[in-house]
Structure 1
């Protein structure tokens, strides 16, 4: 009977894992790589091995492991889409296999967790180093129980965690700090503190400390590094006195599962939702504190977690990082569940549960809890559906450029422009040039479009992208620049033949050069960017210079859909 039960459990687990992998492959067939995925691949392809260690980490903020793995394939001509997805699915599948077959959770938990938003879509379909972070957490959880008798297994798992992301370094550092105090306390009680230097755990901790220091030196941001996420700017006093930062710390545990306050564009300005999430988040914090205290894992939970959440709230984060919070929750409950007797509930929880004498009230509370817990699965399904349904990026332009043999034409792409906030219309007609809003600043180093298109070409096809480093197809996050000096290098190449998306080219070329010049929109792409169930639609157009339109009869002039005619500049 026991053998049959184990066989059924194995079959059901394999079925869940196969469904998970099949789901990743199916959605991945439709998934269009986003900027970060393309950027990583281009770095792996173009940067030298020396740059992967000494230059890239200072601007990307990640240890070099992900880029090194990709470089094995990218530098040898492997196809972009297929390869990066296969690598990511391999790490994700390995992580979920450990969760399904090795974790001490009930079947319902083991079989549902792989399909939650971050475990399935954001870290499984979306190809980033966080698939490795998932695997590292599972390995760390497995090796935690025997960390004192077999410390090197645990340390190697935490070292792997450090190599996957900066947040991995924080969490591993917090866990090692707590473990160090546990070891010292243990030796002190046994009056063997003087033997600490001979303990194999000491050498294991020294190893990860040296590794972490080396990685921190690598990823310390350069002075001219541009931050692409949500960065808190200002003096230390200003940052510490921003009440909202403390609110962000409170909501992060809920946000990593069912919360909706964050999007890829940052934190939303919805006061009512923010207050509601603070209440729920505070309850989750209280629950985590009480349960970890009851199970003698408070320090292991609180020290690493407060370091990470404080860094996120008070310094820097993006939506991609939030799922790491959920991974750490799984790790903490895993190590508590593997203790003798499993997870123990605090007496206060038992009293509260018993105080609800009515079966109906208990069912209502259970139902609400189940709905909240299943929301991450809903987010996963929603994101997958949106990815399958339509365009989620601009690589379609790569297809257009290839099919029409435009790669040898002079193609200009948009750069980041900050317009005056009081401007009513950024630009008034679809053609280029046109009357547009007042420009406050130009950031010619910020060009996302080329990064999502270049993986499909063997050379830099954009005349104004990386003019100082034309062989580098990835974006350099270097914000200290002289835009006018960059514009001069663009002018040396003459007028563009085609323009990808709207560009205020009158910032680059003078009125005499632009006299009689007109660029007409000949293709419009609608695409979506989404996070959980939050999504935004964007439109980008391909322009061709009017005198070249006759050479490409396949292109048609897109008129202003509103039928309005504005004064041209």
Structure 2
């Protein structure tokens, strides 16, 4: 009977995730991975794409099985994701040392359920690897291959995973040396030493595999963003609060995140409380190194490219920290500050049923701490089930309904003019012809017979974004080649500068009419970001065009 409630929680989690998945519409990042898995060669997936995508090829290799076998897009993508989400939740439910109320609620928090459960990316597998590492940590010296295997899996999931695995291995090695008070401890256990060497070799190979090439998009962040030091401080003073309790910032890059004075104060106070509790408990168990070193190395490595949809990694890392600490020693009254301990003890003495009341108080505290994330999950799933998440299905339906998949579609590309802002800051001109309409990339997987995608004039005819920034001369050649083909039937993409594109491509604006293909509402925590997917249609194509 003791395990039956855990099985019920697991079944409920799978049911919730599968149900929301049926409504969820994959967005650009999900489609990009599927298109790489479907259309790129294994050589490209292993040797080229990691340098431009920033993570090892494991996720694409997993997706390539259904993708290259011709399994329908959403079934194949979501099938792989559901298996990873089930592994992540199963570890939480059946292996974690948390109290029953935490076990029952954690899988339904925002990052564990919606953000990394419903949406199909490699982060569910990454969180599962973190949880397995936490579960293996206590027996690392008795069974070193178990932990090394899990750390290898962590490395294969993400560049962030490489940093976290490296940090955990560093703590492991340093503890072994300090415990023996001699460098001989490194080779005293040859079996363990071999596992360390294997992990180091794999880490070096995977790091070399993902090092960005000079022309990788994102290698140089845009101007006028937060400085490196400001972003590093945000990791410690803002992001813990945003991952657990607050929703002041939307899904933006850390480089461009802005907070007002009041939200900043709230985040700093709550983050300080999180660190105060973690540091106290970790120090009492001798786990201060395993709590702080992985977070430090993660902050150093992720500070350049971090976006807030990566907050779930911080959430999972905190869960793993608690996991390790509770494995070492369960919580007890001594963990509390003396004044709080005496106050609660006195409060409980005035009532009967001390144990029952203490348990109820603990459960209430856990529920209150998880409540914000639970509410975010409810809000996001409700929005996703009611509205189009990305508009990809609507775009694909529009193309199919009107039989437009063999017409020419040209995408606007990334362009921002040189701008001086009211505060005196300056943004240089930015242009990249390899950054296409996300709506069309997200719609490409629905057309498996078109390995080059719906768009014309893409880099080497690829169905996915190459993330390979061209030189100015190359951009000019590509724009001229596209213009030489004449006016396409459709030009698609979001822009505030349509005249610039029409001028560069030598298209006549009067030959086109702007239409709205779809309206989307994308949830982030309790935020909802609305948007229209628009296209410019050549006037001779308007007659007989069915928009809905």
TM-score bracket for the superposition, by shorter chain length = 0.7 to 0.9
Residues 523 and 529 in structure 2, CA contact (< 8 A), matched pair in contact too:
yes
Give 1:138 shift: 2.3
Does residue 200 in structure 1 map to residue 191 in structure 2?
Answer: yes
**Quick one: distance in 2 between partners of 1:271 and 1:108?**
35
SS in 2 for 1:322: helix
Give 1:181 shift: 1.2
Residues 35 and 451 in structure 1, CA contact (< 8 A), matched pair in contact too:
yes
Give 1:441 shift: 4.2
Counterpart residue number, 1:272: 262
Give 1:529 shift: 2.2
Cα 1:19–1:40, aligned 2, differ >3 Å: closer, same or farther?
same
Which 10-residue stretch deviates more, 213-222 or 301-310? 301-310
Which 10-residue stretch deviates more, 196-205 or 44-53? 196-205
**Quick one: distance in 1 between partners of 2:240 and 2:503?**
53
Counterpart residue number, 2:169: 176
Residue-by-residue CA offset, 1:173-223 (whole Å, 9 max, x unaligned): 1111111011122333xx792672552111111111111111110111111
Counterpart residue number, 1:114: 107
Is there any run of 5+ residues in structure 1 with no aligned partner, and where? Answer: 1-6, 425-437, 557-569
Which 10-residue stretch deviates more, 325-334 or 36-45? 325-334
Give matches, 1:28-177, under 5 Å: 28-177=21-170
Give 1:84 shift: 1.0
Does residue 488 in structure 1 map to residue 480 in structure 2?
Answer: yes
Residues 101 and 363 in structure 2, CA contact (< 8 A), matched pair in contact too:
no
Give 1:402 shift: 1.0
**Which of 391, 394, 397 is equivalent to 2:395?**
397
SS in 2 for 1:479: coil
**Quick one: distance in 2 between partners of 1:252 and 1:307?**
15
Which 10-residue stretch deviates more, 284-293 or 504-513? 504-513
Give 1:376 shift: 0.4
SS in 2 for 1:181: helix
Cα 1:196–1:104, aligned 2, differ >3 Å: closer, same or farther?
same
Does residue 226 in structure 1 map to residue 217 in structure 2?
Answer: yes
Residues 414 and 449 in structure 1, CA contact (< 8 A), matched pair in contact too:
no
SS in 2 for 1:535: strand
Give 1:461 shift: 4.7
Normalising by structure 1, what TM-score?
0.85
SS in 2 for 1:317: coil
Give matches, 1:348-497, under 5 Å: 349-355=337-343, 370-395=367-392, 396-419=394-417, 421=419, 440-447=429-436, 448-457=438-447, 458-459=449-450, 460-466=452-458, 468-470=459-461, 472-482=462-472, 483-497=475-489
**Which of 279, 303, 328 is equivalent to 2:293?**
303
Cα 1:105–1:465, aligned 2, differ >3 Å: closer, same or farther?
farther
Residues 133 and 164 in structure 1, CA contact (< 8 A), matched pair in contact too:
yes
**Quick one: distance in 1 between partners of 2:500 and 2:539?**
20
Give 1:268 shift: 3.8
**Which of 322, 328, 337 is equivalent to 2:317?**
328
Give matches, 1:558-569, under 5 Å: none
Residues 257 and 323 in structure 1, CA contact (< 8 A), matched pair in contact too:
no
Residues 501 and 540 in structure 1, CA contact (< 8 A), matched pair in contact too:
yes
Residues 491 and 509 in structure 1, CA contact (< 8 A), matched pair in contact too:
no
Give 1:505 shift: 5.8
**Quick one: distance in 2 between partners of 1:168 and 1:155?**
13
SS in 1 for 2:139: coil
**Quick one: distance in 2 between partners of 1:479 and 1:123?**
29
**Quick one: distance in 2 between partners of 1:98 and 1:364?**
26
Residues 253 and 284 in structure 1, CA contact (< 8 A), matched pair in contact too:
yes
Aligned residues: 524
Residues 145 and 335 in structure 1, CA contact (< 8 A), matched pair in contact too:
yes
Give 1:145 shift: 2.1
**Which of 293, 296, 319 is equivalent to 2:308?**
319
Is there any run of 5+ residues in structure 2 with no aligned partner, and where? Answer: 351-357
Give 1:419 shift: 4.3
